[in-house]
Amino acid sequence: MNWKCTCAYDGNGLNGWQSQPGGNTVQDFIEMRLEQIFKTPLRIHGSGRTDAGVHAKAQVFHFKADWDHGADKLERAFRSGLPAGIQVYRVQEAADDFHARFSATGKRYAYRLFEGWARPWEARYCWELGRRRLDQFAMNAAAAQLLGQHDFTAFSANRGDGSEDNPVKDLRMLEVRRKGATLTLVTEGSGYLYKMVRSLAGTLVEVGLGKLTPQEVREILESRQRTNRVATAPAKGLWLERVYYGEAAVEPAE
């Protein structure tokens, strides 16, 4: 049986999604709980890796195991034995060929910025800008330069583990929305390179501060080279919001 699961997590204090020798990752904690439930080690496969400190509202993973008690009971079994910052809130039986990563057709991320100093319970989940103020219109003009299918090497980073990804991605949405002192960068695309969203966010902030122009952002994209002109935004402001399979998105829990 192939199980498709959706989870949410608070990335603060976690070492990211992917299992590591030192543990303390979302994958490690979920696999430990599965071993308790099924009495045997099981491997899960996520839709993608999120860095240490990055949050998720609707991360998707799958695993294969026989279970005769239905999806509801399996979902209930996940409600205990996980850290408070990790929640598996949807469990469904999936087709045998479903793969959380390779079946995905796109993702949506959001990056949160705050002009000023956020309240303590909000500061853990956004990039505080202090006295700096952003030009939203210039940021959106630069974002428009990045839409479409491009080689995004200039906005990626080396994982350092020898892995490689196709640098050509289709960026379907990239815009900056404002609500008072909060600005949210929302992006949807076919996929993202390592640290790509944080690099896009950091670069658009540079535009908003008047340190880069929209045309210079286009030149950076076309250079296909990572340089120190591309800033990387802090992890704590980034959220994985949705994963798409076909035309449908796996929606976050209300």
- pLDDT (tens digit per residue) in 67-108: 999 999 999 999 999 999 999 999 999 999 999 999 999 999
Please check whether residues 144 and 64 belong to one and the same domain.
Answer: no
Please check whether residues 111 and 84 belong to one and the same domain.
Answer: no
Instruction: Give the Cβ contact number of residue 196 at 10 Å.
Output: 24
CA distances from 246 to 65, 104, 148, 155, 241 (A): 25, 7, 18, 26, 16
* Band of residue 165 on the pLDDT scale cut at 50, 70, 90: confident
Please check whether residues 82 and 159 belong to one and the same domain.
Answer: no
* Band of residue 61 on the pLDDT scale cut at 50, 70, 90: very high
Q: Which residues are catalytic?
A: 51
Q: Rounded to an integer, what is the distance from CA 49 to the centroid of its chain?
A: 8
Please check whether residues 240 and 139 belong to one and the same domain.
Answer: yes
Q: How far apart are CA 87 and CA 149, in angstroms?
A: 34
In 72-230, the DSSP E strands lie at 86-94, 106-114, 127-128, 148-151, 168-179, 182-189
Q: In this predicted structure, what is the pLDDT of residue 249?
A: 60
Asked, for residue 13, whether it belongs to a domain, the answer is yes
* Band of residue 252 on the pLDDT scale cut at 50, 70, 90: low
* Band of residue 246 on the pLDDT scale cut at 50, 70, 90: confident
- pLDDT (tens digit per residue) in 114-125: 999 999 999 999
32 is in which domain, residue-wise?
Answer: 2-94
Average pLDDT over all residues of the chain: 95
Residues contacting residue 132 through CB under 8 Å, at least 6 positions apart? 115, 209
Please check whether residues 144 and 235 belong to one and the same domain.
Answer: yes
Domain end position, chosen among 94, 121, 153: 94
What DSSP string describes 77-112?
HTTSSS-TTEEEEEEEEE-TT--TTTT--EEEEEEE
Residue 183, domain CATH: 3.30.70.660
Asked, for residue 144, whether it belongs to a domain, the answer is yes
182 burial type by CB count under 10 A (0-12 exposed, 13-18 middle, 19+ buried):
middle
Asked, for residue 140, whether it belongs to a domain, the answer is yes
